[in-house]
Chains A and B, each alone.
Chain A
Amino acid sequence: SQQGEEDPQALSIQEGENATMNCSYKTSINNLQWYRQNSGRGLVHLILIRSNEREKHSGRLRVTLDTSKKSSSLLITASRAADTASYFCATARRTGANNLFFGTGTRLTVIP
């Protein structure tokens, strides 16, 4: 079973708008990571946020982490058609298994 669940499952916006995706998880984590997957391709790492961090920025990406609510959000500002992809959160647990657990993803479509 997946550790994370993304919400919404699918999101469609106009170019230039902001896109927000959410991720909820179940157990204590060491860090949470966001990945992008273009259709028919492998996943690409976007950003990593540690459990002691609350917010992180990378270019047009802003990630927040609320460990008390076991949730994270990914904000893409001023979206472009090239941002069309699926976005996955992945969690690294604090104890136990030493691998990442991926959510089911949010499919983002940016309409030109």
Chain B
Amino acid sequence: NAGVTQTPKFQVLKTGQSMTLQCAQDMNHNSMYWYRQDPGMGLRLIYYSASEGTTDKGEVPNGYNVSRLNKREFSLRLESAAPSQTSVYFCASSARTGTYEQYFGPGTRLTVT
């Protein structure tokens, strides 16, 4: 039982390049989330998907797009990376949104130069 998996673990991009972060969960959860974590800022929600086929903006959605490919997979895309997007990105899932505990992946450390 892998829980929540993320790929890649590390990535270095040049400004303007694009990339997609992949996330998958095997817990049959309905809801999935993408967060970024910056020093001293805690976790900030980028986008979430309450259920398959729906996505909603979180606190910091600018510069990102998401796709809920199916119930298991939720990807995050940076179309034109900027140095301000240097961060650690975490994917999480939960049975449903809001009141339920969330399960986190190991994170992707992204550096944009």
Contact = CB atoms under 8 A, between A and B. Distances in A.
Contact of B42 (A31, A33, A45, A88): A88
Nearest to B90: A42
A44 B104 CA distance: 7
Contacts of A88: 42-43
Contact of B43 (A1, A30, A43, A93): A43
A102 interface: yes
Interface of A is mostly: strand
Contact of A102 (B42, B99, B107): B42
Contact of B105 (A31, A42, A48, A90): A42
A45 B97 contact: no
A40 to B, nearest CB: 8
B104 A99 contact: no
B43 A33 contact: no
Contacts of B90: 42-43
Nearest to A96: B98
A1 B45 CA distance: 10
Contacts of B44: 2, 102
A10 to B, nearest CB: 11
Given A42-B90, A88-B42, A105-B42, A98 B98 contact: yes
B81 to A, nearest CB: 22
A104 to B, nearest CB: 4
A101 B97 CA distance: 12
Contacts of B43: 43, 88, 102
Given A31-B99, A43-B90, A2 B106 contact: no
B10 to A, nearest CB: 11
Interface of B: 4, 33, 35, 40-45, 48, 50, 58-59, 90, 92, 97-99, 101-107
